[in-house]
Structure 1
Amino acid sequence: MNQQGTGQQPTISRVTTGMRVIDAAGTEVGTVDLVQRGDPNAVTVQAPTADPGSSLDELIESTAVEEPDVPADLAARLLHSGYLKVSTDLVRTGAVYVLADQIAAIADDRVRLTVPATDLPPEE
């Protein structure tokens, strides 16, 4: 049973931080670091660019990362459908994102996915 969009809200609402994540092949991906329920009205806003004359504090603030840390088109999909951020050793950046509709099942403090770990977008 693989529903799309907001139909996954009851499933994603059962996920908690610290749960183990297993991909479609049974490989352990990592642990849930963040659970974000979908917002059908979500929009993304491009981060402001730093003014070269800005103070150091303004420069640091302008480069602060907000979730999800992925390209804007993917961020919009993640925010719209809901997502998990999973801490993992499988990618250089240490985290991947799971769309809500990629969750197959939740049981025994584990989240099983419908896709292999290689299909999960890494954090930038």
Structure 2
Amino acid sequence: MEQKGNQQATISRITTGMPVIDADGTEVGTVDLVQRGDPNAVTVQTPTTDPGSSLDELIESTAVEEPDVPADVAARLLHGGYLKVTTELSDTGAVYVPADWIATVTDGQVRLDVPVSDLPEEE
């Protein structure tokens, strides 16, 4: 549980416009959105009725516009907190960084403990 608190303390020191550097030292881009974690965020659960088409409908009816990623990834991001990073390294122009993938926030930069290739892209 303390780990979660540390992640939230770390993410609270991040502001939009900060550069993001991946584990390999590659500049990913700049922070576009900072979202603190919400342990009570709506998560996608296995539907109890009509398992056919309702999953996407459920997501669309309950989800906000961000994060624009598959439901399983969105649930993780919403629970733990995340950054949306504007980048030229993605075809869609943005990637998401789960809070627990942030290594440090120092010298006005966000450093990740994963390479940019591991980051989920905006859909």
TM-score, L = length of structure 1: 0.81
CA distance in 2, matches of 1:95, 1:4: 27
Partner of 1:47, secondary structure, is helix
Deviations 1:78-121 (A, max 9, x none): 00000000000001000000000000011111000000000000
Identity of aligned residues (%): 73
Question: Gaps (5+ residues) in structure 2?
Answer: 44-57
Structure 2 residue 119 is matched with structure 1 residue 120:
yes
In structure 2, the partner of 1:79 is 78
Structure 2 residue 60 is matched with structure 1 residue 47:
yes
Deviations 1:20-49 (A, max 9, x none): 00000100000000000000111145115x
- Alignment CA distance shift 1:30-1:112 (3 Å): same
Q: Which amino acid aligns with 1:86?
A: V
Over 3 Å off, 4+ runs: 3-7
In structure 2, the partner of 1:23 is 22
TM-score, L = length of structure 2: 0.81
CA distance in 1, matches of 2:24, 2:110: 13
Report the alpha carbon displacement of residue 66 of structure 1 after superposing the two structures with TM.
0.1
Q: 1:5 touches 1:100 (CA, 8 Å); kept in 2?
A: no
Q: Which amino acid aligns with 1:37?
A: R
Provide the aligned length of Structure 1 versus Structure 2: 106
CA distance in 2, matches of 1:112, 1:120: 13
Q: Which amino acid aligns with 1:77?
A: R
Q: Which amino acid aligns with 1:47?
A: E
- Alignment CA distance shift 1:6-1:68 (3 Å): farther
Rg comparison, structure with higher value: 1
In structure 1, the partner of 2:106 is 107
CA distance in 1, matches of 2:122, 2:3: 23
In structure 2, the partner of 1:55 is none
